[in-house]
Structure 1
Amino acid sequence: MDSESEAKANTWSSKAAAKRASTLAKIYPEWRLAPEDIRRASTQRNLTGSFIQQFIAADDAAILSMDSVSVVDAIKQGRLTSLQVTTAFCKAAAVAHQIGNCLHEIFFDEALERAKQLDEYYNKNGTTVGPLHGLPVSLKDQFHVRGQDTTAGYVGWIGSNAGIKDPSQAHQVQSQIATELLSLGAVLYCKTSVPQTLFFIETKNNIIGQTLNPNNQNLSCGGSSGGEGALLALRGSTIGVGTDIGGSVRIPAAFNGVFGIKPTPERFSYRDVAITNPGQTAYKMNIGFLSTSIDGIGLVLKSVLSTKPWLRDPAVVPIPFRQEIVDEYLGRAHDDGTAKQGRTPFKLGVLWTDGVVGPHPPITRSLRMVIDAIRNAGHKVVNWEPPSHRTAKSIHLSIITADGAEDVHKHLNLSGEPMIPELDTRGMRLRPPMGLLKFQDLTRQGLELEEQYLNYWNSTADDDGQIVDAVIMPVAPHAAVIPGKYYHIDYTEALNLMNYSAMVIPVTKADKDLDPFDHGYRPLNTKDEKNWKAYDPDIYDGGPVGVQIVARKFEEEKVWAIAKVVHAALKANEPQSNLKEEGFVVPVHARL
């Protein structure tokens, strides 16, 4: 390394080290763990549940055990104060970061002051500010909060805001979604870790290093909203705001055992949010949400849409929350998910495999659990064999990286930091941008594939007159993945080309006894073989598994309601689904 390169390395690495120290310094001394506790955490397989609870006082643990709706109800009824709730979640986030390395920004001082103001308002007026009054909400480190850094994983943006139009306005800009959350009474208190560039399905950068999976530290927490998923898994938040352009909400939700939704682009405001390659608008990044409960997802959808975001962002389509759609779909089933007599049962498709990379045993078992629950509840299930997801992913990826990684390298060059090795081999090396005619041709191909997918979906009514309501499919071909072994993102990214609404629900966890390696499996191709050989039942044991439930464009209310019914049916079916006791192993390529 020459002297100039060494000086640059010292500069960026020193800046990153100072940022790490600054973040830790914002944790109050009484909330800091002993060095031996942090070392012990690094040797644990599972940081969730009893491990993190040992560092949480009983009163705080009682609050942290509640989900979003219960929290806001307790505050509204005067059983809890905003300050009590905010203090508990700030403590939990502080512990989560010390053992799980999941935060970029901490602003507990501002959060606690905000909570006090909300309590004063409640005491004076006898009512709440809004439907999220006193609820702590965490944010992926793409969202600007006035007075705070936004790095989006880039060292060069430490001390500023990533990607703002006017650098002189550093720390003055606030994302519209953050302002909307505050107007609803939410408390913002931390921002979570992301991968460098935001274009990576794991969470790793040169600022804080890597965020692993709290459920099993042999595995990844996913990306790019990985810090959100990890924080929720550790109960340091009940609702988090993320983004998704290829699976970045759905993957962390599934990998961390929580709920997540990827709405259609333009349903929620992306105004003043940091993004890589902001000029690419053919396939936009989505605002999405993660939660510890399915009702938490419903709460945040309804609440944010009540602010009418289209009045402040011209890119947002003016569609208010449609309660009548929720009522229509929930009205077709009982609370336990069973179909109501005299009402049309759901007709759901199931994609067992995309035919390119077959799912590992835990994924196929989870699909079978969901399908058995749906059928036992009286709903219909059909096989789903749509147009090629591989083609959809190829078109989408080519378009969203059409600038030749110019924007990425512009941000890297601000500090001279190197690209993390995992990205240096994944198409992020600087290259000439795509030509306009090729870009336009790819856009045409994308539109044609959307039409083919639409035609296929409509054709599902040909046999019985009923169109498929939604589709169940894997989020990935594996449970929360071994770092460095995520080879196939088509299960999520293909849906970004269609701009479909998609909801993730947790189903189960990988189990070394239930999910043995199938030595008789014959890989479909070299990529499938690579993925299959990466499966190790012992390492994956305990890794969360979720599935995604997919509806069409602007069907967020519908997909949420169907997911609620499916999840209820899954829960009601649990006693009959104890496959471990039955010694039942589901074949890898199950069919209906």
Structure 2
Amino acid sequence: MEHTSWESAAAAKRASVLGKIPEAWRLDEGQLAQARAQRDLTDGFIQQFLNEDEISIISRDSVDIVDQIKQGNLTALEVTSAFCKTAALAHQINNCLHEIFFDEALARARELDAHYAAKVETIGPLHGLPISLKDQFHVKGVDTTMGYVGWIGGNLGVDDPSKVHKVESQITAELLSLGAVLFCKTSLPQTLMFGETKNNIIGQTLNPHNQNLSCGGSSGGEGALQALRGSTLGLGTDIGGSVRIPAAFNGIFALKPTPERLSYRDVANTNPGQNTCRSTVGFLSTSLSGLELGLRAVLSTCPWERDPAVVPIPFRQNVYDECRSRARSNGLAYPWPKNKPLKLGILRNDGHVRPHPPVERGLGEVVKALIIAQHQIIHWKPPSHVTARDIHMSFLTADGGADIHSHLQRSGEPLIPDLQEFFQLKEPMPLLEYQDLTVKALEYEAAYSDYWNKTAGWGGLVTGQVVDAVIMPVAPHAAVIPGKYFHVGYTEAINLLNYSAVVIPVTKADKDVDIVRNPSYQPLNEVDQRNWDAYDPETYHGAPVGVQIVTRKFEEEKALAIADIVVSALQSYRSARERAKEE
């Protein structure tokens, strides 16, 4: 970096990534111009560049793909080729990849096919499944820049020259041992600490459903790639909403486990020494079953045996089955007293920033479906999420930005404009102040837990039982207008609590339905006013809306089971509504 400007280094990196796309998969200037003029890049638009077999493959979800390979109906090479091509197209029209290693992926697929041909068996539950990775996970032979120009040609955090490109994240090795095919690394924002995806290397990744909007962050490239069907299962991380926000904004599913359920060993991170409020590895997927497949598979490798930070909890099928058995396959609760329906808290707004009309409508539709399915709904009014957000953000900025600026200084690149004010270099938080903050965080956790426990005495048939999960917005808006993400309290509070969460897609913003609120609307505060002023039905039209289903610590299996019930109930509700219209 000493003999070149950071701009030149970033430009060379962009060109290098594009240069790894095979000539046959490259779009011409006319096709790229067509993409730039398109509002929605999903489905029909990207499929025009694929043949029927490729469309058939990428239209399948993770579980179906591994089943088809196991049955011999598809080969790993066919599947990998289809997803590599789609990812190549996705990057050209949506700027969502940091690293491409298609040649290595295709070679890996051929090896898997040779193994299957010789032994007529797969090497693991992910055999032949292409899996994408957020650019924090180390893959041997591949850069990990994490969006910093100074780490081009190396691996963020690996200063020993003898180890450059030789480090492998533990979970990367686990995926390979399970038969996965790794083929690309996806874009993220400079610093990671941003709900959008922008950096000085590739610029900005927008939302494939509506290019007026952001794909979210910090696992934004993962969300965008999956929205374009360039992957069905990918790894992300979450310290403030970073798998949940992109999932909700891109109309896909996500699982945020409790930290220490999956291995973070040898994963690049911002301020890795800040361990009080931990980041967690999570999954994003085009299907709910894909999340379960990923969690179940990785836990089968017993990651705690190699990473002492991981709690030794295997996948608990009994927990999943017990929870899922509380409703029929269509989501309808069994009649009392054969089984207890779900008891679900509903947080419609956090009392600080009210959601836009599309989010209110989406959450309302979920509530209606659950009531019709005869589950019990509880109004959720816990300790202030704003308090949690403030404590959480104080942890994330406790070093005064020292770690972030150390990475910027390697190349001389500046902070992107969106972050220049917030991440100016400051004095780090004094130790005693940090310890006091830790006490406040523990007190908040205890108060929230006490509130949750009180729900055992709250009415209805399900007395004596605490709330099973809480359903709430992921953000106060659908996929957001760039630069208009003013409030992250809906996700940050859950990180401070270390709770498990699953995001499910619900609906899309509709300009003809989600009209502007009544003129008599009174803002709760300045931030609420700014959020409301940013809402425009036409601009937001087509933006995905998701909700998060939150359970307590280490309840990932329960969260997945409840999510399945909610999705089933929502499908049944919509089917009944459509039948009623036809009649």
Same fold (TM over 0.5): yes
Cα deviations by residue, 1:104-132 (Å, 9 ceiling, x for unpaired): 00000000000000000011111000000
What is the aligned partner in structure 1 of residue 72 from structure 2? 78
Pick from 283, 298, 301: which aligns with 2:277? 283
Asked if 1:457 is matched to 2:452, the reply is: yes
What is the aligned partner in structure 2 of residue 397 from structure 1? 393
Cα deviations by residue, 1:44-68 (Å, 9 ceiling, x for unpaired): 1000010001011111000011000
- Percent identity between the two aligned chains: 64
What is the aligned partner in structure 1 of residue 345 from structure 2? 349
Can you give the 5+ residue segments of structure 1 that lack an aligned partner in the other structure? Answer: 1-6, 583-592
What is the aligned partner in structure 2 of residue 558 from structure 1? 558
Q: CA deviation at 1:522?
A: 1.2
Q: CA deviation at 1:577?
A: 5.3
Amino acid at match of 2:250: N
Cα deviations by residue, 1:533-574 (Å, 9 ceiling, x for unpaired): 100000000000000000000000000110011011111111
Cα deviations by residue, 1:246-296 (Å, 9 ceiling, x for unpaired): 000000000000000100000000000000101000011100000000000
What is the aligned partner in structure 2 of residue 588 from structure 1? none
Asked if 1:435 is matched to 2:419, the reply is: no
What is the aligned partner in structure 2 of residue 516 from structure 1? 515
Distance 1:394 1:84 in 2: 49
What is the aligned partner in structure 1 of residue 404 from structure 2? 408
Q: CA deviation at 1:43?
A: 1.0
Asked if 1:388 is matched to 2:384, the reply is: yes
What is the aligned partner in structure 1 of residue 441 from structure 2? 446
What is the aligned partner in structure 1 of residue 144 from structure 2? 150
Amino acid at match of 1:348: L
Distance 2:3 2:149 in 1: 11
What is the aligned partner in structure 2 of residue 132 from structure 1? 126
Asked if 1:417 is matched to 2:413, the reply is: yes
Judged with a 3 Å threshold, the aligned counterparts in structure 2 of structure 1 residues 353 and 83 are, in CA distance, closer, same or farther, namely same
What is the aligned partner in structure 2 of residue 114 from structure 1? 108
Distance 1:165 1:268 in 2: 25
Distance 2:354 2:575 in 1: 28
Moved more, 267-276 or 333-342: 333-342
| Partner secondary structure for residue 392 of structure 1 | helix
Distance 2:487 2:333 in 1: 35
Amino acid at match of 1:536: D
Pick from 270, 291, 296: which aligns with 1:297? 291
Asked if 1:243 is matched to 2:241, the reply is: no
Alignment root-mean-square deviation, CA: 1.5
State how many pairs are aligned: 575
Distance 2:496 2:507 in 1: 28
Pick from 31, 47, 53: which aligns with 2:47? 53
What is the aligned partner in structure 2 of residue 258 from structure 1? 252
Maintained 8 Å contact 1:64/1:236: yes
Q: CA deviation at 1:465?
A: 1.7
Maintained 8 Å contact 1:214/1:234: yes
Q: CA deviation at 1:340?
A: 2.0
What is the aligned partner in structure 2 of residue 489 from structure 1? 488
What is the aligned partner in structure 2 of residue 4 from structure 1? none
Judged with a 3 Å threshold, the aligned counterparts in structure 2 of structure 1 residues 28 and 197 are, in CA distance, closer, same or farther, namely same
Pick from 358, 361, 381: which aligns with 2:357? 361
Q: CA deviation at 1:466?
A: 2.0
Cα deviations by residue, 1:369-412 (Å, 9 ceiling, x for unpaired): 10111111111111000001000010011012100000000000
Pick from 9, 12, 19: which aligns with 1:25? 19
Q: CA deviation at 1:165?
A: 5.6
Distance 1:263 1:193 in 2: 21
| Partner secondary structure for residue 471 of structure 1 | strand
Distance 1:483 1:100 in 2: 15
Cα deviations by residue, 1:481-528 (Å, 9 ceiling, x for unpaired): 000000000000011000000100000000001100113321111110
Judged with a 3 Å threshold, the aligned counterparts in structure 2 of structure 1 residues 285 and 9 are, in CA distance, closer, same or farther, namely farther
Q: CA deviation at 1:9?
A: 11
Cα deviations by residue, 1:194-233 (Å, 9 ceiling, x for unpaired): 0001111100000000000000000000000000000000
How does the TM-score come out when normalised to structure 1?
0.96
Amino acid at match of 2:389: K
1:10-21 residue pairs with structure 2 within 5 A?
11-21=5-15
Asked if 1:529 is matched to 2:529, the reply is: yes
Distance 2:4 2:544 in 1: 39
Maintained 8 Å contact 1:261/1:290: yes
Maintained 8 Å contact 1:242/1:249: yes
Moved more, 192-201 or 9-18: 9-18
Distance 1:10 1:300 in 2: 42
Q: CA deviation at 1:164?
A: 2.1
Cα deviations by residue, 1:174-193 (Å, 9 ceiling, x for unpaired): 00010000000000000000
What is the aligned partner in structure 1 of residue 465 from structure 2? 466
Distance 2:521 2:361 in 1: 15
Distance 2:75 2:263 in 1: 30
How does the TM-score come out when normalised to structure 2?
0.97
What is the aligned partner in structure 1 of residue 262 from structure 2? 268
What is the aligned partner in structure 2 of residue 590 from structure 1? none
